[in-house]
Amino acid sequence: MCGIIGAVAESAIKPVLDGLGRLEYRGYDSSGISILSNNEIQTIKARGKLNNLKQRLSMQALEGKCCIGHTRWATHGKPNETNAHPHQCGQVSVVHNGIIENYLELKRKLVQWGHHFNSSTDSEVVPHLINHYLSQQMTQEEAIEKAITQLKGSYALGILINGSSNNLYAIKQDSPLVISQGNNGFYMASDAMALGADSAKIYYPKDNEIFQLNSHEIKLCGNSINKKIHYINNQNSAKLISKEGHNSFMEKEIFEQVDLLKRLSVNSHANKYSTINFKELKKITIIACGTSYYAASVAKTWFEKYAHILVEIDIASEYRYRSPIVTDNELAIFVSQSGETADTLAALRYAKSKKAQTLALVNVANSTIAREANFTFEIYAGPEIGVASTKAFSCQLAIFYKMAIEAAKQRELINNAELKQLIFSFAQLPYIMEKVLQRCTDMKAMAKKICKYSNVLFLGRGALTPIAQEGALKLKEISYIHAEAYAAGELKHGPIALLDEQMPVLVIAPKNNLTDKLLSNIQEVQARNAPLFIIGDKSIREYINLQEDDFFELPPMPEAILPIISVIPMQLLALYSAQILGKNVDQPRNLAKSVTVE
């Protein structure tokens, strides 16, 4: 969602602008900065991309040692310059990530006190509250403490106050925040990715710890004054993120999957998976959102098939509201690429309150979800910059596959020959994936046809149904083509009413024990003159007459790894369709990489 960053440094505007550039991957509609310059706060904002803000700044000679910046993903109020952050009132300027749930109540109170509001946002109440309490002769710290006691909801705040001492404050409640000590300055941000090479030491604050960043130090203040800051090394500080010759980060990340899977197949992490006592488990519940939910759906198939463990899957935003029954000997797994997904974090806290054993499956080892779960398994996908997830999804699947094998071993439900076959199948993954990617031009030809339509229907069976769902999600995320996915057997229970010459159907059709049933579904599609596209085994062509560019051939492979391989052509289809339609592949409209509000 929104990205925030602040710096106290000799020339603070540069690390803030650099940090905003590193936060672009999160998705945003406007950006802005506030800087203390010549004893006053200067605020500059711009709608659209960060370059628009940089262009405005290039026309002004602004210098200062205290600066905050923001990239906005609209929640309250339309995407425009007025609603862009920072928001300023008097001597206070604020950047905010999160949602102030009681902002209307606070706004009415402030209006009665004589305050005038410019924006439609929830965030603007924060600088007004702080400024109000400053006008009552409170100190800066007292005014901030008093203001945050009025707030309900989630927030990570960067607060700039102009006064006798120019200070930058940072505080959080249920939203991610990181504080950093560098050699050339002090920093705060919503995401460690925003921090540059100078930020070697970082600290993840606890809720309602107030930090003051000044020219000399970072210190805790207010009720937290007696606490110590325990820094850890910032693993992202020296990483340079580039497209490495690809047209987009998404394209690069799709092709990176081969090397990532090679590393995962060599480094088994078997000892780590054995820390979970699968033998005694009665149930696994997997909680996730979006793409991660589809990874959970595939994992359910593996755990139940190979380890005979009952598995429930839940959408994170719904989990705690249905009053789920948490049983003894249950493992609750929380899947989140960023490790900061608000709904998933809230679900984790609910499960912990019910005494569930919790495991985080994340891509960021120091994330909030990772820190709060009983166990953490990292997926080792590396930074994923494209908003639409690709490599994180395949790495999630890979870790789930290995967990299912470990569970089957502990529960003694597969013999040595079956175990060796599953391990061998996993070792083949990167090489089969490479063969699929080598035929990417075939998918370009299919994409040229599909992107002429306004709607697409995806069909799969068994463990490939969630892969069909992921394919539909990817297509609509970045090409804006409306797409839906169903288990193929559900076609005749409603969706078949949509079929005509303008409703193309894409079917994942491997050769397995469901092939005959799937062929019947395909015949139903053809009988209604719907354009048909197939991603599948070459044997399917013996039964279905298709043009060359209506069929994408999957190489022969063990059935166990079909879901991981089958998602690759889905990703390529979405990528090439979006490119043909001229869409921004890495930063699709309205989407955010890290969903940090409910």
Predicted confidence (pLDDT) per residue in 449-490, tens digit: 999 999 999 999 999 999 999 999 999 999 999 999 999 999
438: exposed, middle or buried (Cβ count in 10 Å: 0-12, 13-18, 19+): exposed
* pLDDT at residue 271 greater than cutoff 80: no
Q: Where in the chain are all domains bearing CATH 3.60.20.10? A: 3-233
Active site residue 511: no
Higher pLDDT, 511 or 1: 511
- The pLDDT of residue 543 is 83
The mean pLDDT value for 192-220 works out to 89
Q: Is the peptide bond before 86 cis (omega within 30 degrees of 0)?
A: yes
Above 80 in pLDDT, residue 1? Answer: no
Give tens-digit pLDDT for 66-101. 999 999 877 777 888 899 999 999 999 999 999 999
Lowest mean pLDDT segment, chosen from 195-204, 306-315, 419-428 = 195-204
* Amino acid at site 549: D
Please, which pLDDT band fits residue 378 given cuts at 50, 70 and 90? very high
pLDDT of the residue at 362: 96
Is residue 25's pLDDT more than 80?
Answer: no
Q: Give the whole-angstrom CA distance, residue 90 versus residue 163.
A: 11
The reply to whether 2 belongs to the active site is yes
Lowest mean pLDDT, pick from 80-89, 408-417, 446-455, 541-550: 541-550
Q: Where in the chain is the domain with CATH 3.40.50.10490?
A: 245-436, 439-586
* Nearest C-alpha neighbor of 132 from the set 152, 153, 116: 116
CB-based contacts of 24, cutoff 8 Å, min separation 6? 49, 50, 71, 587
pLDDT at 538 > cutoff 70: yes
Based on the number of CB atoms within 10 Å of its own CB, is 523 exposed (0-12), middle (13-18) or buried (19 or more)?
Answer: exposed
* Confidence category of residue 268, pLDDT binned at 50, 70, 90: low
Instruction: For the chain, give the mean pLDDT.
Output: 91
The stretch 308-314 carries a mean pLDDT of 97
Q: Which of 2, 66, 221, 451 is catalytic?
A: 2
**Out of 172, 402, 474, 593, which one is annotated catalytic?**
593
- Domain spanning 439-586, CATH class: alpha beta
Residue type, 171: I
Q: Has residue 196 got a pLDDT over 90? A: no
In which band, very low, low, confident or very high, does the pLDDT at 511 lie, cut at 50, 70 and 90? Answer: confident
Extract the tokens encoding 49.
């991309």
Residue 371 pLDDT > 50: yes
Share of the chain above pLDDT 90, in %: 73
Give residue 166's pLDDT.
Answer: 74
pLDDT band at 238 (very low <50, low <70, confident <90, very high): very low
Superfamily of the domain at 3-233? Aminohydrolase, N-terminal nucleophile (Ntn) domain (3.60.20.10)
User: What pTM was estimated for this model as a whole?
Assistant: 0.89
Would you identify the CATH topology of the domain 245-436?
Rossmann fold (3.40.50)
Q: Which of 177-181, 458-462, 485-489, 515-519 has the lowest mean pLDDT?
A: 515-519
Task: Tell me how far CA of residue 260 lies from CA of 296, 395, 451, 454, 472, in angstroms.
Answer: 20, 8, 30, 34, 24
pLDDT band for position 239 (cuts 50, 70, 90): low
